[in-house]
Amino acid sequence: MPSACIPNHYKIRDRYQVPVASLAVLADTDLRFRPQQFSSALWDCRVDFRFPMVKLLDYAAPERWAELEASDNVFALVVMAQIRAKVTEDAETLKGWKFRLIRLMYERGYEQARILELFRLIDWMIRLPKALEADFRQTLYAYEEQQRMPYVTTAPRPTASALPPPSLSNCCNGPNASSAPRRRRRFSTEARVEALLGRMTT
């Protein structure tokens, strides 16, 4: 993974001729996987590439989770969804977290377009068994009716084909990205997140 970050760093620097800082955001579940440098040497030539690293799983700790909940940055909701999708094994508990995160959007007074974009992303990240998904939808629809904001109720569910194609590299994918099919799935994951976040922040 660290070696994959070097081409991205260099290409941006070469294209724009400006200083570049690379940051690794790790969304895997291996607490021990924390790369922060890549070194390579041949004869008297040596490359030593160091970069800061953020492990999303660290934010599952109570004190860091409280920071996310208190943040008004929309990306904090995405990070919370990613963490709960990774660490929550019980489907019923995950359903509760999904509704809680969706409800935060309404409580923060986001406009309808932003709520729908965030909902699409969180709904795609946190997948529930069919029966629990139906329960979640009913709970959400009842909440929207109570709040008189039928944003999701009246919006059609997007299909997988409606999401953007993969476009990101495998930089910072995590330690288990050796097989081609798995790499393609991760490219798709990152590309969809990138595209949706791009719409929400513009």
DSSP symbols for 9-45 = HHHHHHHH-S-----EEE-SS-TT----EEEEEETTE
Specify the pLDDT at position 127: 92
In sequence order, which residues have a C-beta less than 8 Å from that of residue 38 and are 6 or more positions away? Answer: 2, 3, 5, 6, 47, 48, 49
Q: Say if CB 29 and CB 57 are below 8 A apart.
A: yes
Query: pLDDT for 50-88, tens place per residue?
Result: 999 999 999 999 999 999 999 888 889 999 999 999 999
Query: pLDDT for 144-167, tens place per residue?
Result: 888 888 777 655 555 544 444 333
Distance between CA atoms of residues 125 and 135, nearest Å: 17
pLDDT for residue 197 is more than 90: no
Specify the pLDDT at position 139: 93
Segment 11-15 shows an average pLDDT of: 90
Specify the pLDDT at position 194: 52
The tokens for 156 are 């059609």
Percentage, residues of the chain above pLDDT 90? 40
Position 129: which residue type? P
pLDDT for residue 182 is more than 80: no
> What is the pTM (predicted TM-score) of this model?
0.68
Task: Spell out the domain ranges in the chain.
Answer: 2-55+161-200, 61-158
